[in-house]
Structure 1
Amino acid sequence: MGERLLYEGKAKRVLATGDPDVLLHRYKDEATAFDGRKRGSWRGKGRTNATMSAAMFRYLEEHGVPTHFIEQVDDTTLKTKRLEMLPVEVVVRNVAAGSLAKRLGYEEGTPLRQPVVELYLKNDELGDPLVNRYHLRELGVDDGTLAACEEMGLKVNDTLRPFFEERGITLVDFKIEIGRDTEGNLLLADEISPDTCRFWDRETGERLDKDRFRRDMGGVEEAYAEVLRRVTGEG
């Protein structure tokens, strides 16, 4: 049995393979923002997100964070373990930006006293709303699982912040998704890229992420290429 499309999202396609425990994630050049109300594309986006995610998953695995990553198949495709995904998006924030700056009345760029962890319901139709543990208990996610998800988010943060600092990038915030493998282990999934992280140049504060697309700042293709170059040495 060959490849079969299981799911097509905003930024990638997920395909079944001949192995029921293995998936392919094929990243697209397309982008959306504001729950799909804004759409666009730029050359090399899929390659950047796939290649950078592969590098980040390898690095995190080396530092004790289990992930779904198996290998990078080609420029835009990753092979991963098949997981039962949790209905939770974990966001970790180091600097006030975007919705958190509005929520707390902070000026964008204000460093936070300590990392802030937020939980969002993974549901495109509802706009991925911010939720708390009470909501997630109602939806069947137990406290132990949520605690493990938060712990994983903070571990990813502790691992990646110095990695990016060494490359002249401030890791402002990021989103991760988590799933269970066939043995019940929680694994990091989805991607780590300029689509799911806010990256600011440490010296200039220049945005090197999807905010350039969201806010019509221009230079999106160049920003993604610059992050990839700093992370992997590839242009």
Structure 2
Amino acid sequence: MPSRPTVHSFYRYNIEPAMLEAQRRVFAHFDVPLRQWRDDKAKHAGWIDALLADDSLDDIVVIADIDAFPLSHDAYAGLVAAAERGAIAGLAQTTNDKSPDKIFAAPMFMAFRRDVWRDFGAPSLFPYDTGDVAQIMTDIAEARGVEVALTYPSFALRPIWALADRGVYGTGTFYGDMEFFHLYQARHVNTVDLFCAVAEGAIAGRHDWARYLEMIEDAPPEAKGGRSLRQIIRKLRG
């Protein structure tokens, strides 16, 4: 029987209860084990480091942001299967303020074997000069010829950032062939409403795209990103 490791999700006091409940409902609907961890003192990377050091947990470590969920059980199972074969698996992201041309597997939804992490020298997953949280796992994997299994964004309801030469992502991003959803901008009330709406769509098996677009248009300016799609396309074209 395929393994079903628990997905671990970190949050703090400022996350809306509605978001927590929506994420729980989606995971339960797709029969994916989930544990939401509240820690008002730890930093995200510090929490991941503690998770990795805890041998009482699953051998395959699966991490998700509190504003992310799979859009099917198969998407979760595929990520776990990649980790089982020794890959560093996750959603594709770039750290645009540090290394904009470097795509890595990000912990917004990520999986890898604990023994692979140990073989890498048990590195801390804190950000560093040229990388963001957990980016070190991709760096080491590539240096050693270890597979990095990336799931790329297919589209975003509100494009904000360039993904090197592979497209764009932003608020309300859908990854793969309708495999994962990541909200970003989780602190804004309007985007929390969007998150809950997409969760409802995932559970119902039918997405109301017109409703999502209306909700993203109603989001406050600070949740819409600092660059327009035209600016992002201009950057991609050089």
- TM-score, shorter chain, exceeding 0.5: no
TMscore range, shorter length: 0.3 to 0.5
More helix by share: 2
TM-score, normalising length: structure 1: 0.36
TM-score, normalising length: structure 2: 0.35
More strand by share: 1
